[in-house]
Amino acid sequence: MARNKIALVGAGNIGGTLALLAGLKELGDVVLFDIVDGIPQGKALDIAQSAPVEGFDANFSGASDYSAIAGADVVIVTAGIPRKPGMSRDDLLATNMKVMKAVGEGIKMHAPDAFVICITNPLDAMVWVLREACGLPHNKVVGMAGVLDSARFRHFLAEEMQVSVEDVSAFVLGGHGDTMVPMVRHSTVAGISLPDLVKMGWITQEKLDAIVDRTRNGGAEIVGLLKAGSAFYAPASSAIAMAESYLKDKKRVLPCAAYLSGEYGVDGFYVGVPAVIGADGIERIVELELNETEMDGFTHSVNAVRGLIDACKNLEGA
């Protein structure tokens, strides 16, 4: 049986980590693409040489020509620039929009049947630009952010309550920016909701509020520490979880930037919501009933995303 093909567009820190994780999980053969010739080839060779030690079988190659992604089953896009300390993700819009258009053209030409996962920031707007440029069905193009933001939320909660991360289930709704909405009411430890855990004394309301804030600022905290570049291990793990769910038809319920056509009152763009990912891509949007506070937060976040997409449309018309 032929192996799946995974194309990674962008061979920076996230691209390299994605390639290693895809290899370790034996998801398929990996092509690393980057416009900077040499880097994708070098990283591919380096990772291929780790395979005998780790004991996984996959082919790794590097390329700087889009034809190398031909026939990919999954394309994960990390191309573009990351922010620096003091910048917001939105400051990357104009530069990364141009990159997404070029990448979208490459996907359209060479990998029109792929499931496409976008990681480039500002995420919700860039996945919209990428989809417009590649013209693939909306359910086959998705943004990675919800898994990452939720993983941060889960990590902070597990650390505070001294429990295994495996038993913490949490998720974040809305755009991948300062307006994201960590969903306290829907997050649990072994099925016990966070509000009940506050009542049980496992965590104080003050600590929980601080964790919600820290989750919202999770990306900026790492940018501030790294000084040059942004997070890459957790973003790569998050995208690989989405790719694996697609390739193995696992039908995991994962928060991701999905295209909405009326769900949650949003029509015609991408926002972070829980969705089922299986062999057909985004197979179902999970529509939760939100209370007033959650709806206020979500609406605020949706408006921020809409503003970014309007900015993209204006730049396009300029």
Q: Please enumerate, by residue number, every residue annotated as part of a binding site.
A: 10-15, 34, 83, 89, 96, 119-121, 152
Residue ranges for the binding site for substrate? 83, 89, 121, 152
Q: For 112, which DSSP code? A: T
Q: Is 155 a catalytic residue?
A: no
- Which residues have a Cβ under 8 Å from the Cβ of 312 and sit 6 or more positions away? 93, 97, 125, 128, 129
The residue to which tokens 């990675």 are assigned: 144
Rounded (to 5) percent helix, strand, coil in the chain: 50, 20, 30
Q: Is 231 in the site for ligand LMR (CB under 6 A)?
A: yes
The residue to which tokens 């690989």 are assigned: 240
- Which residues have a Cβ under 8 Å from the Cβ of 54 and sit 6 or more positions away? 23, 24
Query: CB 221 → ligand LMR: shortest distance, Å?
Result: 9
Q: Is 62 in the site for ligand LMR (CB under 6 A)?
A: no
The residue to which tokens 């053969």 are assigned: 29
- Which residues have a Cβ under 8 Å from the Cβ of 276 and sit 6 or more positions away? 251, 252, 253, 282, 283, 284, 286
Site track 139-158 with ligand LMR (rule: CB under 6 A), x = hit: ---------x----------
Query: Looking at 14, 126, 223, 271, which residue binds ligand LMR (CB under 6 A)?
Result: 223
Q: Is 305 in the site for ligand LMR (CB under 6 A)?
A: no
Q: Is 222 in the site for ligand LMR (CB under 6 A)?
A: yes
- Nearest Cα residue to 10 out of 48, 44, 46, 40: 40
Query: Looking at 17, 96, 121, 150, which residue binds ligand LMR (CB under 6 A)?
Result: 121
Q: Is 219 in the site for ligand LMR (CB under 6 A)?
A: yes
Residue ranges for the binding site for NAD(+)? 10-15, 34, 96, 119-121
The residue to which tokens 């999905």 are assigned: 258
Q: Binding-site residue total for ligand LMR (CB under 6 A)?
A: 14
Query: CB 145 → ligand LMR: shortest distance, Å?
Result: 7
Q: Near ligand LMR by CB under 6 A, which window of 49-57, 206-214, 223-231, 287-295?
A: 223-231
Subset of residues 186 to 215 that bind ligand LMR, contact rule: CB under 6 A: none
Q: Is 230 in the site for ligand LMR (CB under 6 A)?
A: yes
- Which residues have a Cβ under 8 Å from the Cβ of 8 and sit 6 or more positions away? 15, 18, 19, 22, 30, 31, 32, 33, 75, 76, 78
The residue to which tokens 């940018």 are assigned: 223
Query: CB 285 → ligand LMR: shortest distance, Å?
Result: 22
Q: What is the C-alpha separation between 162 and 176, in angstroms, rounded?
A: 27
Q: Near ligand LMR by CB under 6 A, which window of 68-76, 125-133, 191-199, 227-235?
A: 227-235
Nearer to ligand LMR, 230 or 301 (CB): 230
- Catalytic position from the list 110, 155, 176, 300: 176
Going 34 to 36 to 37 to 42, the CA torsion angle's sign is negative
Q: Is 216 in the site for ligand LMR (CB under 6 A)?
A: no
Would you tell me which residues interact with ligand LMR (CB under 6 A)?
A: 82-83, 89, 121, 148, 176, 218-220, 222-223, 230-231, 235
The residues that are catalytic are 176
